[in-house]
Amino acid sequence: MMVLEHKPAALKSLALPGDVQVAIVSRDARALQKVRERNKQLGGYELRFFAEATNPKAPVVNKEVFAPDPRALAVLEGVRIAQEDLRRSGGAYDLDQVRTLLRGISRQAVDKRLQEGSLLAVPGPSNHRSFPTLQFNADGTVVEGLKSVREALPTDNPWTMLNFLAQPDDRLGGRKPIDLLKEGKVELVVEAARRMAQQGA
């Protein structure tokens, strides 16, 4: 494709092979009409005129329509914060590691604990379940009170539960709920979770 802009003088003496097509393009439809009127000698030819409505250099795909809106960005930021909570609180075990910690219990037993809320798992890489290490005591047992805390929170979202457990809470004097659970202060943490639910209502 060759583009000749403006009124190149070479156009007058341009020798064109028989199989070449010439297109007349303009941003102004009136200019195209003038071409028709001033070149009556071209009346025997089939002429096609194209009005250039947009910038030819503009991209065909508008990238702006693919940009996530503020709500979508907030969801993404929430996931990033949750993942950072997980990293700061010690990461997570995979299923086999949890089974080892819990003295070789079956996968079904792990599933049962997850369903009843006495064990916490978040979606991990490739959507495999990952079990935050913060819910385990130093001897490998699971911290007491997770089920009660989950029931008191306003949502079953595991990332929300992780965030609640891992972040210092003003309702608990700036302490992390998980630390109080490990000290056996389950009721204090459950009450803080209830108040969180009430404030969110």
Q: Which among 64, 156, 150, 140 has a CA at the least distance from the CA of 105?
A: 140
User: Would you state the pLDDT for residue 27?
Assistant: 64
Q: What's the distance, CA 122 to chain centroid?
A: 17
Question: In whole angstroms, what is the distance from residue 105 CA to residue 107 CA?
Answer: 7
The answer to whether the CB of 4 falls within 8 A of the CB of 11 is yes
Which amino acid is it at 103? R
Q: Which among 143, 140, 121 has a CA at the least distance from the CA of 131?
A: 121
pTM score of the predicted model: 0.63
Q: Per residue of the chain (201 residues), what is the pLDDT tens digit?
A: 555 555 555 556 666 676 666 666 666 667 767 777 777 666 555 556 555 555 556 667 888 888 999 999 998 898 888 888 889 889 999 999 999 999 989 999 999 999 999 999 998 888 889 999 999 999 999 999 999 999 999 998 999 999 999 999 999 999 999 999 999 999 999 999 999 878 765
Question: In whole angstroms, what is the distance from residue 188 CA to residue 176 CA?
Answer: 11
User: Would you state the pLDDT for residue 10?
Assistant: 55
Count Cβ atoms below 10 Å from residue 11 Cβ, excluding itself.
10
